[in-house]
Structure 1
Amino acid sequence: MKRVFAVLLFIGSMSFVSQTKKTPNIIFIEVDDLMPRFMNKLGEGFGHTPNIDRLAEQGVHFPHAVAQGPMCGPSRNTLITGLYSHNLGFYKNGDMRFLPENVWTFPKVFQENGYQTAYVGKSHVRPQKRNQSKADALKAYGFDFVNASGERHAIWRDLKKGKDVSEIPFIKHLKKRGKYDQFLKDNNVPGHKMRSTMQDDVDYLDGYMAHVGSYWIENEQDKAKPFFMWFNFCLPHGPYDVPQRYYDIANKIKIPGPKTNKFGHFVPEPLLVGNKPAEAKKLPKERIGEVANVAFMDKMVGKLIASLKRSGELENTVIVFFSDHSIFLGNHGRSHKTTLFEEALNTSMIISYPNLFPKDKISMQPMELLDLIPTAFELAGFKNPNKIAKNGISVVPLLTLKEKVREYAFSEVYGAQSATGERYRYITSEGYEILYDRVNDPNEMKNIAKENPKVTKKMGDAVKNWMKNSGAVLEPKTH
């Protein structure tokens, strides 16, 4: 039997307890560099995303959910610690080789309160000491079960440098299956034009990880306990190397070009250093590659959900689908990320739990990834979830009682900060202020800061208060 609630939830508890007497499982399904426009139901209608579409039909989508640090490393390390980039000095992937000793991490709270915890997939989470393995680091941060991998391109990079990759679980899997030589051949292609020739999804990195996650859900979780799983995809992050059968899907789709090819105003340098001008000749291949990668990723999301259904856990599991951030892919004439515009900040957030939350709804409430921590704590029945979490605000009151929980969601890169509201986005950098009306200017082309001084001041003051009241502001750490 699952653990029964000992204490009613502070907000929305009567609705929750009346509909389920079991503590819910919680699964975070995190994907990498997903641009929402490359989805179907929640995007522009051209992505092949039937499983994510069904998930959205069973949940609530947050178009204004943003990453607090719009790059892979900062996003994941701030999430696990409940801290902002400026609290850690972690603004880009090259920062921070190690997390602080004895750092607080939210999975430990689940572990200490009777949850079985699991981490599967890509890990950008930093260790606490030199030569500590990914698995050992994640276990120290509160996970009982760990099967962690680096990125696909990182494995290939290490291979080319002659590094030992034999202990990576995926490599062990390939060798056991007799597929390792085929993997090497696939990736020994000049010009990064490789595509996987694997006929079975399980022999591609994200397919293998989906198999590990599904197997754990169906066969290895302790049925006497609720579980928390954090599943991390490498996809749809490039390189765009999924098997040809997923390109066959993408080739049947008419994929539009970028919505914009420039900025409509001056942009300060801190907002440009983490990205670069797009190469027009490469964009069509990159955009079709994104569709192909998304199609593979969507199929694996379906695999995880199917495993929940087969295990009898689907109805009692909160599914949170999100991206660590988004990516330009030619919009505003740029490539990559690490900036504070919509293309980099958006997280494609869906929260699905029909036992308690509405279905097929869109909430324009701004939300940070850090809000996921107290939200999960509240769903798990922990007292004072907003106080346990280092930052963030539970959105359970919003989803159960339609109460507004925050006015702005905050994000940053080194040298610039932003606030996202239901209608406006504000950015400040080097004394220059940008304000977008995202209702009338969804592509963020017109800076209306001077035309709307009251809104600009209000949001600027909110950013200042956030920076003042959210803990230490540290310079980038490179050691």
Structure 2
Amino acid sequence: MIPPGQTNGLAGRESNLDYESLNMTESNLIKRRQFLQTAGLGTASILLSGKTAGAANSPVTPQQRSSSAKPNVLVIMTDQHRADLMTCAGRDLVPTPNIDLIASRGVRFTNAYCPYPVCVASRMALLTGLYAHSTGAITNRDRLDWRYRTIANHFTDNGYLTGLIGKMHFLDAHNHGFEYYMSINDWLMYLGPKVQHYANEIANHPLGAHFFKTVDDGGAGLPDVDGLWLKGSPWVGNVEKWNFDNMASALEPEDHLDMFLAREAAKFINRYREQPFFLVTSFMKPHSPFYPPRQWAEIYPVDKMTLPKVGDIYQYPPHIQRRIKNMASLGEKRQRAHRAGYLGNLAFVDTCIGHVYKALEKEKLLDNTIVVYTSDHGEMEGDHGLYQKFCMFEPSVRIPLIVSYPKHLPEDKVTAALTEYIGLYPTLSELAGLEAPRKTTLLDIPGAPERMDAASFANVLRHPDIEGPAAAFSEFNLRSRISEYMIRTRRYKYIFNHGTTHELYDHEADPGEFVNLINDPGLKKVRDQLRDRLFAWYDPEKNPYRQK
């Protein structure tokens, strides 16, 4: 059981709350959940209970859960990790021994795509198995309707203890089905006065102003630190100018968010090893801010960084041209600093991943645990003169995806099958032996799809050499005049850019996507067929969620 004295917000410290006086004993919570299930609400009770974890979120005892016949599930996520920056993917630029270890014990996808190259939309699609155009959660300001039935709801209702440790970009007070929830704010409380160092670093990061200004609407995923950088706040202190020659963080490695999350995930695994669990451990890095601990920052000196090739920008749509020009105006030194910080972040988060994976090994749970490694979207890292994501180029939409389940799935295999990571919901359900969810919602939502958009890719995991799906899709629409919709087949990528120039790339001849073939008369039939298939998936001309 989660100890009655432990609550979310204290990160494992003892609480002085009197649960008897609050009528929140474990016994009462069990009765409350049983009542709500009898009343037909199921895990909606957890969603309605607000953003609390600990005892208030885990009312079911191990005795009430099914036995160890069910496999555990561990989903390890990072933020903004592009698919090719792993040693196991053939790039030794960044040492990723722990991600490589997971890959050596499972199946790695080389053509896995995110449904939306933006944090919130991509993560909510993963949780629901529904594309962003189905839920309406398309920007970093959009809240997922709590009535959607998430993968956490599904596993909870099937006898699992469900936990979320880290960043998921929930923008409301609901846990969306997770019984145990430890958020970024728990780390801030753990830091105490040392949060000063973090506030200083962020305030002077080139993306810092954006990072902080968007906190209230969820852009940073740090909803409770809004007062730390306001003018006149005692937290701001003596801030130094951002130093491009020193990318090292002032925080010790153990005080960094991702190392904190790794420790808490390891504690969770140790504490609940006797019962089936579904745990999502979601790290912040390699996403900005680019201040890895010194040991990792020193691996990548800024002046040693090289910049990638930039092709003819005038073949791209005007909005992409503008972005490239804006990035060029930053200057080469800042671009090199971006690359150095990103690589340092990635090397550090791999170390954190290792701590979580080794916790499974220590508890002898590897053979009975499905382990997933993935990321919400990629990172351009200077390719085509672009940084961050927000586009349909491969570095932005293609993501790492590895699934390991020793003795049940092939090991050390690579598949080129096209895959969409929103398929993890039905895939993990199938691998765990659970029936597919019958509904996409807990309670009725007007206009909500009755069936999940996502399809299981468990068959590809069992047979990595098969071709798999014929196409993968992605979309990007921030309710502006610019919106992008992608279909990727085994050879071609077609991008429909609403109201402007479209794009077509031949991946056999041009894997780097440097030559836009949209006006090639010899490919008119290919272009028209891809457009028809894209519009059959979703019609961008109708664009019902363009304005809210």
Normalised by the size of structure 2, how large is the TM-score? 0.71
- For structure 1, the 5+ residue unaligned runs are 1-20, 150-167
CA distance in 1 between partners of 2:327 and 2:543 (Å): 33
The structure whose RCO (Cα within 8 Å, separation 6+) is larger is 1
Q: Which of 172, 192, 197 is the matching residue for 2:250? A: 197
Residue-by-residue CA offset, 1:144-164 (whole Å, 9 max, x unaligned): 111011xxxxxxxxxxxxxxx
Contact 2:128–2:150 (Cα < 8 Å) also in 1: yes
**Secondary structure of 2:299's partner?**
helix
Q: Which residue in the other structure is 2:149 paired with?
A: 104
Contact 1:38–1:44 (Cα < 8 Å) also in 2: yes
CA distance in 2 between partners of 1:59 and 1:404 (Å): 18
- Is 1:257 the counterpart of 2:307 in the alignment? yes
Q: Which residue in the other structure is 2:231 paired with?
A: none
Distance change in 2, residues 1:103/1:250 (3 Å) = same
CA distance in 2 between partners of 1:56 and 1:277 (Å): 34
**Secondary structure of 1:362's partner?**
strand
Contact 1:47–1:294 (Cα < 8 Å) also in 2: yes
- Is 1:407 the counterpart of 2:473 in the alignment? no
- Amino acid across the alignment from 1:223: E
Residue-by-residue CA offset, 1:73-95 (whole Å, 9 max, x unaligned): 1111222222212223333324x
Residue-by-residue CA offset, 1:376-421 (whole Å, 9 max, x unaligned): 1101112346987722111111121455542111101122210112
Q: Which residue in the other structure is 1:416 paired with?
A: 484
**1:263 positional shift:** 3.5
Contact 2:97–2:350 (Cα < 8 Å) also in 1: yes
**1:446 positional shift:** 1.1
Alignment of 1:335-346 (within 5 A): 335-346=387-398
Distance change in 2, residues 1:100/1:252 (3 Å) = closer
**1:35 positional shift:** 2.4
Distance change in 2, residues 1:447/1:123 (3 Å) = same
Distance change in 2, residues 1:87/1:195 (3 Å) = same
- Is 1:36 the counterpart of 2:114 in the alignment? no
- Is 1:358 the counterpart of 2:394 in the alignment? no
- Amino acid across the alignment from 1:104: R
- Per mean C-alpha deviation after superposition, the further-off stretch among 368-377 and 27-36 is 27-36
Q: Which of 506, 524, 529 is the matching residue for 1:458? A: 529
CA distance in 2 between partners of 1:366 and 1:78 (Å): 18
- For structure 2, the 5+ residue unaligned runs are 1-67, 203-237, 441-450, 478-482
Contact 1:262–1:331 (Cα < 8 Å) also in 2: no
Q: Which residue in the other structure is 2:170 paired with?
A: 125
Alignment of 1:302-451 (within 5 A): 302-384=354-436, 390-401=452-463, 403-414=466-477, 415-429=483-497, 430=499, 432-449=501-518, 450=520, 451=522
**Secondary structure of 1:304's partner?**
helix
**Paired residues, what number?**
421
- Aligned-pair identity (%): 30
**Secondary structure of 2:159's partner?**
coil
Q: Which of 256, 260, 264 is the matching residue for 1:208? A: 260
- Is 1:170 the counterpart of 2:233 in the alignment? no
**Secondary structure of 1:373's partner?**
helix
Q: Which residue in the other structure is 2:60 paired with?
A: none
Distance change in 2, residues 1:346/1:294 (3 Å) = same
Contact 2:416–2:467 (Cα < 8 Å) also in 1: no
- Per mean C-alpha deviation after superposition, the further-off stretch among 427-436 and 105-114 is 427-436
The Cα RMSD (Å) is 2.9
Structure 1 residue ranges, 4+ long, deviating more than 6 angstroms after superposition: 270-275, 385-389
Distance change in 2, residues 1:205/1:275 (3 Å) = farther
Contact 2:318–2:500 (Cα < 8 Å) also in 1: no
